[in-house]
Structure formats: C-alpha cells, structure tokens
C-alpha cells in the first residue's frame, strides 16, 4: 500500500514523514486519534498544516504511516539481531528478544496502534493485517525449525507465535506500570522462561541449559576485575 505524496524526492519524503509520525504519535497518545487535528500534528512537528498535505492526503494516511513505522522497525531490527545466529533454539529466543526490543523502541506508537486500528478505512486496515502476518513469520519460522529439530514439542505454530507476540506487545501496553519496576531484559527473560518451560522437549531443555551456562560464563568473564583499569 503506497501513500501518495506531492513531493518527488524520496529521501525528503522519508525525512518529513518521520517527523510527521513522531509528532502524530505524541498527539494521538495525548488526545486520541479523533481528538487530534492535522493542525495539532503540524504544530507539534514545527511546520504548517499545508506542508503536511504535501506528504499525505488526510489524517488516516498519517495514522497508517504510524503503523508502517512500527512494522518497518520490526522487520529491520529482528533480522539484524538474528544475523550470525545458527542454533535453532537460540534463534527463537533471539527473535522474541528482538521483537520485545523493537516494541521498546516504539512504546508510544504501539499503544496508539492498539487503540486506533478501527479508525482506519478497510483497505488500510487490511494492509496492516497483512503486514502483521508477514512480521509474525519472523517468530513463526524459528518455532517451525525448532519443532523440526526436536527441540520444541509439536504445537499450533500460529497460536504460539501469537502468544509470543503478545508478550512483546505487553511491554508497551503495561509500560506505564512496569517502567522503573523491572528492566526490559528481566521482562523478556521471565517471559521466555515461562513459555519455554511448557514447550521444550527433553532435548530442548538440555540445549537450553547449555546455552544458559555459556551465557552466564560469558557474563562473568566480561565483569571487570576489582582494581583493574579499563
């Protein structure tokens, strides 16, 4: 789905739309989608409402750009984090961790996305649903590989993927409560522990213990020696 722009310079369009998205997220979070005007977004971004209409057709386009920004972050961050990771179980854990990290980069936008999806016209909503399913494959594929490798019990992959994605989204939805009480790393570790305990095969549990032992050893080795200069 392409959002039309009167500006032909693609780099300039990307730059301006990034500004528009950041301003829109702040406005939507504060006043809601229906309580926000294009002028509000323009004022927050620091330019005129007329300028915004050079890059979008209407306020629905702005909301759609917020969703695109969210999914582009997922689709960029998760594959980057998976680079160089070959072990199936490690890839699954890394994919979930990266999804949570990507949500943490877009807490405000994620909350707006949950709250305002019904405000999109049907064709835009369908486009967002397709993007969601595409992004979910970044988690589903490692699950399928783990099942094939005998590390995860056979299960409904789509349902398990949905639950792991909800774990990631939960960080944004309850960020108002958990921020300052628990770190993102601890939130992810606790969530992974709860899910993995119920889905790993005996071989998967053994693999997980080995990986945890290696991670703990590496963490100890990275600690500075008392009195040493770094």
Q: Does the domain formed by 67-220 have CATH 3.40.640.10?
A: no
Count other C-beta atoms under 10 Å from residue 177's C-beta: 9
pTM assigned to the model:
0.88
Cα(60)–Cα(152) distance, integer angstroms: 42
Segment 30-48 shows an average pLDDT of 93
pLDDT in tens, 100-131: 999 999 999 999 998 898 899 999 999 999 99
Segment 173-188 shows an average pLDDT of 94
Cα(190)–Cα(192) distance, integer angstroms: 6
- What pLDDT band is residue 3 in, cutting at 50, 70 and 90? confident
Does 71 score more than 80 pLDDT? yes
pLDDT of residue 226: 66
Does 230 score more than 60 pLDDT? no
- Ranges of each domain in the chain: 67-220
In the chain, which residue ranges form alpha helices assigned H by DSSP?
10-31, 38-45, 49-52, 59-82, 88-105, 107-116, 122-148, 157-173, 175-178, 184-199, 202-222
Does 23 score more than 60 pLDDT? yes
């Amino acid at each position: 789905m392409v959002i039309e722009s009167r500006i032909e310079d693609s780099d300039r369009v990307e730059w301006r739309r990034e500004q528009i998205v950041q301003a829109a997220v702040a406005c939507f979070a504060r006043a809601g989608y229906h309580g926000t005007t294009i002028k509000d977004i323009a004022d927050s971004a620091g330019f005129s409402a007329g300028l915004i209409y050079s890059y979008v057709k209407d306020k629905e386009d702005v909301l759609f750009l917020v969703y695109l920004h969210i999914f582009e972050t997922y689709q960029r961050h998760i594959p980057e984090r998976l680079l160089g990771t070959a072990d199936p179980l490690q890839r699954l854990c890394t994919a979930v961790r990266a999804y949570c990290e990507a949500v943490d980069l877009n807490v405000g936008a994620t909350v707006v996305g949950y709250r305002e999806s019904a405000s999109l016209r049907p064709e835009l909503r369908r486009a967002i649903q397709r993007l969601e399913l595409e992004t979910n494959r970044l988690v589903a594929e490692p699950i399928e590989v783990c099942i094939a490798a005998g590390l995860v019990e056979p299960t409904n992959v789509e349902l398990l993927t949905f639950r792991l994605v909800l774990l990631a989204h939960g960080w944004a939805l309850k960020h108002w409560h958990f921020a300052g009480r628990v770190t993102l790393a601890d939130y992810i570790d606790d969530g992974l522990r709860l899910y993995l305990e119920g889905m790993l095969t005996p071989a998967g549990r053994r693999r997980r213990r080995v990986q945890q032992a290696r991670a703990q050893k590496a963490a100890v080795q990275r600690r500075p020696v008392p009195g040493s200069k770094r």
